[in-house]
Structure 1
Amino acid sequence: MSEQTANAAKSGWLNRALNAIEVIGNKLPDPAVLFALLMIVVWLSSWLLSGMTFAEVDPRTGDAIKINNLLEPTSLTAFMAKMVATFVSFPPLGVVLVAMMGLGVAEYTGYINAGLRSILSVTPKMLLTPVLIAVGVLSHVAVDAGYVLVIPLGAVIFYAAGRHPLAGIAAAFAGVSGGFSATFFVPSSLDPLLAGLTQASARLSADPAAAQLVINPLNNYFFTTASTFLIVIIGWVLTDKFIEPRLKNTAIDGDPADLPKMDALQPHERKGLRWATFAMVLSGVLLMVSAMPETSAWRSPLNGELTHSSAPLMQSIVGIIFVFFLIPGVVYGYVAGTANNHREIIKGMSKAMSGMGYYIVMAFFCAQFIYAFGQSNLGALIAIKGANWLQQMSFPMGVTLVGIVFLSGFINLLVGSASAKWALIGAVMVPMLMELGVSPDLTQAAYRVGDSSTNIITPLMPYFPLIVVFCQKYVKSTGIGTLIALMLPFSISMLLLWTCFLLGFWALDIPLGVGASYTYPVAG
């Protein structure tokens, strides 16, 4: 009884803490409005600081750094004249929309759904947990498909196997959301999105060479792929050894008639899946064959390498993602009968685009904010002052990386959008750390660790209420506190162990990704 009382007290404290975070988070404006407000702050700050003299030297000119007044008539008219160009040339915009069209077709025709169900249905019971978590990580290629497909299926397959369904939800949620920045061999749409924002932030640096800096969309690929195995191990151990035993006394009181069943693949789905997967594999083989010759057009015209940033192969990552999901999506649709004509294929693309309306609005304001921030020179001033302060403090690089991870994890409790957070944090962090010789690739990797680890414990995450509803199908009394208590061990473990994993990569100089580095050459 005393243990139950202690658990109840702990749960009450956790609920109070989360309620406070929720109240604070709800008072923040929408990210799109937040960018607009920050842009106004940049304008006012540039006006206030434009007449001041600073001791910091701008390495681009060799003179004392100067803040440009964005409220001057010429600056305001230039801002208005370039507004459209600033928006359409915003790096993350095009790459995300193009990738989403291909993924949208694969999701609309049912290829992704059938593939996930097929993998889960043939999994041995002893490997149920790790495979479920791995599939959750794999679902990132379809952006939000994991939340609406893998997590409820996790409960179904655990329930069908005689295990507690909430443990299945916890394991799937840990893979889909906690491991959001991990990638299971196949790059996700998050990779080009964050790389585009990192590139935009890096070009705010005072270093003249940064204006030509190109961030590869796969700059964290090796780290995020290796991270999948870490996420699977953490989730596997916690689910089987801690979470499920803790749920033994939690009664399943959902209405049996309402409990979902995991439908087996129908013959037409199996046939479609076989042909679609064959088409995807064949596409990959043809790409490899065309890229292997020394004279391949996929290679860099500068040095003949496939992984160089100037290589058409590296510049085509987003297009390749589009094609690699469009082809099997189309094949599956025609073979399985879920898309009988080309209009259905276009409908799948349109449906994917219809869900991107909010992102487009947010991207517009984000692009204008980043443009204003860069034109003001405030970023260069903050970066140089911040770098000087960090140099004076002489923090070990490991401590700096840990600070980035934990700061990102904390902000994630209040701001749900991964891209919105990185656009805000990266605009200051990336150029500041470049002044200290830290590459944008490493800064981005540290951000991704912190951002993913706390996804599963914040009620402000858009899909969090949906996960509570999934739980309530099996345990009617499930609330926010229940889900937080369920996921808190995953979050803490990921935050600590994943940070150590990143530090290990850095200490051993293991490549982060394609075309990535740990250091940035500091001028002078």
Structure 2
Amino acid sequence: MSEQTANAAKAGWLNRALNAIEVVGNKLPDPAVLFALLMVVVWVVSWALAGVSFNEVDPRTGAAIQVNNLLAADSMTTFMAKMVNTFVTFAPLGVVLVAMLGLGVAEHTGFINAGLRSVLSVTPKMLLTPVLIAVGVASHMAVDAGYVLVIPLGAVIFYAAGRHPLAGIAAAFAGVSGGFSATILPSSLDPLLSGLTQVSARLSSDPAAAELFVSPMNNYYFTTASTFLVVIVGWIITDKFIEPRLKATRVDGDPADMPKMDDLKPNERKGLRWASFSMLLSIVLLIVSALPETSAWRAPAGTVLAEGQSNLLVFAAPLMQSIVSIIFVFFLIPGVVYGYVSGNAQNHRDIIKGMSKAMSGMGYYIVMAFFCAQFIYAFGQSNLGALLAIKGANWLQEMAFPMGFTLIGIVFLSGFVNLLVGSASAKWALIGAIMVPMLMELGVSPDLTQAAYRVGDSSTNIITPLLPYFPLIVVFCQKYVKSTGIGTLIALMLPYSIAMLVLWTAFLLGFWALDIPLGVGSSYSYPASN
């Protein structure tokens, strides 16, 4: 068999596999409907198991664990009475919407756009790949801005530099989506996931879990360090594997239709300077105000601290309770400054328009959050979570798997589910409700379980056709290579996905083995040993 025939056979097998995944994924209901259906399943299962006697002991009561019948009259009336409160008090809802208000202004006025173009336009050719990937990672601060801005710009700057434009798209896609859980600065994803983790942790049978707080920055050190891993892996894969492979792929798009990377206009440069200065000044003021021991940002006097723990980095400290508000302010201020200085915002109505636009884009998330909140509430009230956690913990203890293998299992489970369910929050709400309390029974902290989920979720983002932006990336590719299809893009991104899945998992295990802190207020064990 010739090399060309062998490559064609491999491509054909890959396309058949991807088509099968796409068919299966398309048969799944929308995540919002999925949560509603799962809630009904919880109701039915709770009714079926309500009269069953279990040998497992509930630590909260000291008695055998009992499943509560959610179809009983008093349970259903309580569910209806609390439906609104269950939704509005759903932990991830408010934090995500507040963060998006500030980010929406920064995006609408053009501050984020100008900042990304500025960084990419002054990058030396030899550093083009790593900087592009790093900018893709940084774009998470604006949620989906990277998909519609950084990825097409990646093709533009690679093409302008005489390199293959599809390699630019692949590198940018690897940073934006493959590095989704890496971070340079905190983003709205951090409070979103930690909020879901906190909700899941409180499903634990441990009475103390009811007061457990999961910091929005509980994985910050790990995800920040992961940025360097993602950039290095993406750089090597792009320059040593993807680009050489693309040499035989002819660029046949219409040059007239190929977008150009415009230089910043004088008003944009001026706006970017003032906006950057305002952001830097805000950061300096926060640091200066938090440094004094008498700072109002610190925990009140008398707060119990662990050995070596700062009263600035505990939950009782107003600083830690203000993370989401700080994200809001830190992007609102430069967004407003840029808008007025550049002329993109004429008055306060333009600022409000940016916030409104950001909120309008969150409509689907709000719908999904409603059904997710109801499912989480029903799951908790049924006691099924505690039953599964105790049974699962007992099984894992009996099997005596090393904890490293357990963490690897979470990573690969998350990566597999990601091929079928596109929403990061939907996946974690489903997986976390089981895994977080179950592993807490084994002494594993919610912070570590969440970190393992984030590795698996990010690593397979770039190879799932069910990613909402996947068809858009194919369209970007077709501007340069008309024959590009889903299989083409998957073939481009598969090396990144495999490399990240393996190396990022090893990176997490290294953090765990060396006891390097995962983030602010986090731990590896439960209850926390430090």
Normalised by the size of structure 2, how large is the TM-score?
Answer: 0.98
Q: Is the 8 A contact 2:155 2:167 kept in 1?
A: yes
Q: In the aligned structure 2, how far is the partner of 1:4 from the partner of 1:340? A: 59
Structure 2 residue corresponding to 1:448, chosen from 442, 451, 454: 454
Q: Is 1:416 the equivalent of 2:428?
A: no
Q: Give runs of ≥4 in structure 1 deviating > 2 Å.
A: none
Instruction: Output aligned runs, 1:14-413, within 5 Å.
Output: 14-184=14-184, 186-301=185-300, 302=303, 303=305, 305-413=311-419
| Residues 497-512 of structure 1: pairs in structure 2 closer than 5 A | 497-512=503-518
Matched to 1:200, the amino acid is: V
Q: Deviations over 1:111-161 (max 9, x none)?
A: 000000000000000000000000000000000000000000000000000
Q: 1:83, 1:26 → 2: CA distance?
A: 30
Q: CA-atom RMSD, angstroms?
A: 0.9
Offset, 1:6: 1.1
Contact 2:278 2:333 (8 Å CA) reproduced: yes
Deviation at 1:310, TM superposition (A): 1.4
The CA deviation at 1:522 is: 9.4
Distance in 2 separating the partners of 1:284 and 1:503: 33
Give the letter aligned to residue 450 of structure 1. G
Letter in 1 for 2:263: A
Which residue type is aligned with residue 518 of structure 1? Y
CA distance in 2, matches of 1:9, 1:172: 28
Q: Distance in 2 between matches of 1:9 and 1:176?
A: 31
State yes or no: 1:11 paired with 2:5: no
Tell me the secondary structure at the aligned position of residue 82 of structure 1.
helix
Shift of residue 326, structure 1, vs aligned partner: 0.1
Deviates more, 1:318-327 or 1:299-308: 299-308
Paired with 1:521 and 1:187, the residues of 2 have a C-alpha distance of 26
Aligned AA for 1:177?
A: S
- SS of equivalent residue, structure 1 residue 248: helix
Q: How does 1:471-482 map to 2 (within 5 A)?
A: 471-482=477-488
SS in structure 1 of the partner of residue 162 of structure 2: coil
Residue 300 of structure 1 deviates from its aligned partner by 1.1
Inter-partner Cα distance in structure 2 for 1:283 and 1:366: 36
Deviations 1:234-293 (A, max 9, x none): 000010011000000100000011011100000000000000000000000000011001
Q: CA deviation at 1:5?
A: 1.3
Q: CA deviation at 1:321?
A: 0.2
Partner Cα distance (1:239, 1:33) in 2:
39
Shift of 1:181: 0.2
2:349 maps to a residue whose letter is: R
CA contact (8 A) 1:157 1:262 kept: yes
Contact 1:435 1:522 in 2 (8 A): no
Amino acid in structure 2 at the alignment position of 1:136: G
Task: After superposition, give the CA deviation of every residue in 1:349-394 in whole Å (9 maximum; x if it has no partner).
Answer: 0000000000000000000000000000000000000000000000
TM-superposed deviation, 1:299: 0.5
What is the CA–CA distance in structure 2 between the aligned matches of 1:521 and 1:61, rounded to whole Å? 19
Q: What's the offset of the Cα at 1:521?
A: 2.4
Counterpart of 2:99, as a letter, is A
Give the Cα–Cα distance (whole angstroms) in 1 for the partners of residues 92 and 100 of structure 2: 12
Question: Unaligned regions of 5+ residues in structure 2, if any?
Answer: none
Distance across 2 between alignment mates of 1:152 and 1:144 = 13
Structure 1 range deviating more: 299-308 or 511-520: 299-308
Q: Are the equivalent residues in 1 in contact too, given 2:129–2:235 (CA < 8 A)?
A: yes
Q: Structure 1 vs Structure 2: percent identity of aligned residues?
A: 84
Residue 103 of structure 1 and its aligned partner are, at CA, apart by 0.1
Cα distance in structure 2, aligned partners of 1:8 and 1:295: 69
Q: 1:305 Cα shift?
A: 1.0
Given that residues 200 and 437 in structure 2 are in contact (C-alpha distance below 8 angstroms), is that contact kept between their aligned partners in structure 1?
yes
Task: Tell me the number of residue pairs that the alignment of Structure 1 and Structure 2 aligns.
Answer: 522
C-alpha distance in structure 1 between counterparts of 2:368 and 2:4, whole Å: 46
Contact 1:436-1:522 at 8 Å conserved across structures: no
Question: In the alignment, is the contact (CA less than 8 A) between 2:445 and 2:528 conserved in 1?
Answer: no
The alignment partner of 1:462 has SS state of coil
Partners of 2:385 and 2:299 in 1: CA distance: 33
Question: In the alignment, residue 212 of structure 2 is paired with which amino acid?
Answer: L
Letter in structure 1 aligned against 2:156? V
